[in-house]
């Protein structure tokens, strides 16, 4: 008899995997959820990704890939909302998912992404009697370490999700230590699985062809034949694009180097204007180019055409951009924080910068720009080092966690608190 296909319910409440990454609230997590779901569907799982309806005309169900689909759930007004506001609609979202799921085959497992989704995930796992896995992607308490205050109900919500989930996946051992130390997670339930990247998309290839294609597809980038420093990401302060604008005039040996800032959209005009003014103030107004967030298929050309990729973030729980660039053969210069501290190996496939200062970034970038031999050596090492992040490996490790939970043993020795049936709203009110 043929074995029934395993069914997975993915909670991605606050953002859809189809939202354009590199804009206000869409980034690595969206890419991750889409890629993981595709890979799980390829190996035979049926995957339904539940996300909040954030526009009136979103279809009820949308195909992501064969075997994987996105289901829009009504919860709160059908407009874009920040996650902190979406938290107030969690019960409505949970009820909406339950109602839709009642018309389908039962799920074997729930995988939630981010704490808001985790609140629905733990509740549904109690009602459906199936295991729940959570990934936070970012944690409020880590953001606070980096001076980005978060509302108290976020930390309270995260604590509840930690206590009531069967397994927690962290992207790095740093995140794991944080979950255990700051959130009291049971160590036996926290697994480290790095994020995956699509190596069929991100690999080295002809630089000249990439430059030619970019000239046609992204004319706003201007000439790409001189040294190019690439920044890719959401235009939020913690990503540090301003630090690179300030670093550019300090790279004295390369007066023709340009900085390509790729990310954001029309909602980020104010931040882009601030960066533009800063560039003029630093005397590099003509050398800083801005490109709105691009579709994923355009990224490989950007990574290959760039001389170096710079990731000056205050914090990255994993940092997909640095890995995508390195897989494409371009060394990364990144802050020594979070996931970047393990994916970038200082002096081997790029440089890590300990002190987040423009001069420090300028010095590290200059070392690469002025030395082609070093750059080639590091580029080759980068491509080889990134092979471990192939989706084939990463999806396998995630499946190992699922299988362990689905096997009769469960995760050996794990103690998970029974999910407290108090309403989420009362949790949020008590904590604020």
Residues that bind ligand UDP (CB under 6 A): 21-22, 27-29, 31, 232-234, 262-263, 293-294, 296, 299, 318-321, 324
Task: Look at phi and psi of residue 349 and say left if phi exceeds 0, alpha if psi is from -120 to 50, else beta.
Answer: alpha
CB of 21 to ligand UDP, least distance (A): 3
CB of 101 to ligand UDP, least distance (A): 28
Nearer to ligand UDP, 382 or 427 (CB): 382
CB 105 within 8 A of CB 128: no
What are the two backbone dihedrals, phi and then psi, of residue 421, each rounded to the nearest 5 degrees? -80, 5
Nearer to ligand UDP, 101 or 323 (CB): 323
Tokens of 337: 């924080």
Indicate the residue whose CB is closest to ligand UDP.
27
Nearest to 386 by CA among 323, 304, 311: 323
CB of 27 to ligand UDP, least distance (A): 2
Nearer to ligand UDP, 296 or 396 (CB): 296
Nearer to ligand UDP, 131 or 196 (CB): 196
DSSP 3-state assignment of 153?
A: helix
CB of 113 to ligand UDP, least distance (A): 11
CB of 187 to ligand UDP, least distance (A): 25
CB 134 within 8 A of CB 112: yes
Nearer to ligand UDP, 230 or 419 (CB): 230
CB of 317 to ligand UDP, least distance (A): 7
Tokens of 279: 């560039």
Helix axes 391-406, 28-42, angle to 10 degrees: 70
First to last CA, the chain: 54
CB 195 within 8 A of CB 318: yes
Nearer to ligand UDP, 320 or 419 (CB): 320
User: Rounded to an integer, what distance in angstroms lies between the CA atom of residue 160 and that of residue 143?
Assistant: 18
C-alpha separations of 12 from 8, 38, 115 in Å: 13, 15, 10
């Amino acid at each position: 008899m043929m074995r029934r296909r395993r069914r997975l319910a993915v909670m991605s409440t606050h953002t859809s995997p189809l939202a354009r990454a590199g804009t206000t609230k869409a980034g690595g997590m969206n890419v991750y959820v889409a890629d993981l779901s595709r890979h799980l569907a390829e190996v035979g799982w049926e995957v339904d990704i539940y996300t909040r309806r954030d526009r009136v005309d979103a279809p009820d169900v949308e195909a992501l890939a064969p075997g994987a689909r996105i289901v829009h759930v009504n919860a709160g007004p059908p407009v874009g909302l920040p996650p902190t506001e979406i938290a107030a609609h969690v019960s409505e979202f949970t009820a909406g998912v339950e109602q839709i799921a009642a018309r389908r085959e039962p799920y074997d497992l729930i995988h939630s992404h981010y704490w808001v989704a985790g609140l629905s995930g733990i509740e549904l796992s109690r009602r459906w009697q199936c295991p729940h896995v959570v990934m936070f992607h970012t944690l409020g308490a880590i953001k606070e370490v980096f001076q980005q205050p978060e509302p108290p109900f976020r930390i309270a919500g995260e604590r509840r999700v930690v206590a009531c989930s069967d397994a927690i996946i962290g992207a790095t051992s740093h995140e794991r230590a944080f979950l255990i130390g700051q959130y009291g997670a049971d160590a036996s339930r926290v697994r480290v699985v790095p994020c995956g990247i699509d190596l069929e998309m991100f690999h080295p290839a002809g630089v000249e062809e990439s430059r030619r294609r970019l000239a046609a597809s992204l004319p706003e980038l201007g000439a790409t034949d001189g040294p190019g420093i690439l920044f890719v990401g959401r235009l939020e302060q913690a990503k540090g694009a301003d630090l690179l604008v300030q670093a550019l005039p300090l790279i004295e040996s390369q007066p023709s180097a340009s900085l390509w800032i790729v990310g954001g959209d029309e909602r980020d005009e104010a931040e882009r204007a601030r960066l533009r003014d800063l560039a003029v103030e630093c005397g590099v107004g003509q050398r800083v180019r801005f490109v709105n967030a691009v579709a994923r298929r355009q990224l490989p050309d950007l990574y290959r055409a760039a001389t170096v990729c710079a990731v000056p973030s205050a914090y990255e729980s994993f940092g997909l951009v640095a890995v995508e660039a390195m897989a494409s053969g371009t060394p990364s210069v990144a802050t020594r924080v979070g996931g970047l501290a393990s994916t970038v190996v200082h002096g081997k496939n790029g440089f890590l910068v300990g002190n987040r200062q423009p001069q420090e970034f300028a010095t590290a970038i200059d070392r690469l720009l002025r030395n082609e031999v070093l750059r080639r050596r590091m580029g080759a090492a980068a491509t080889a080092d990134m092979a471990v992040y192939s989706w084939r490996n990463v999806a396998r490790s995630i499946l190992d966690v699922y299988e362990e939970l689905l096997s009769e043993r469960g995760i050996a020795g794990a103690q998970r608190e029974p999910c407290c049936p108090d309403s989420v709203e009362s949790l949020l009110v008590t904590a604020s």
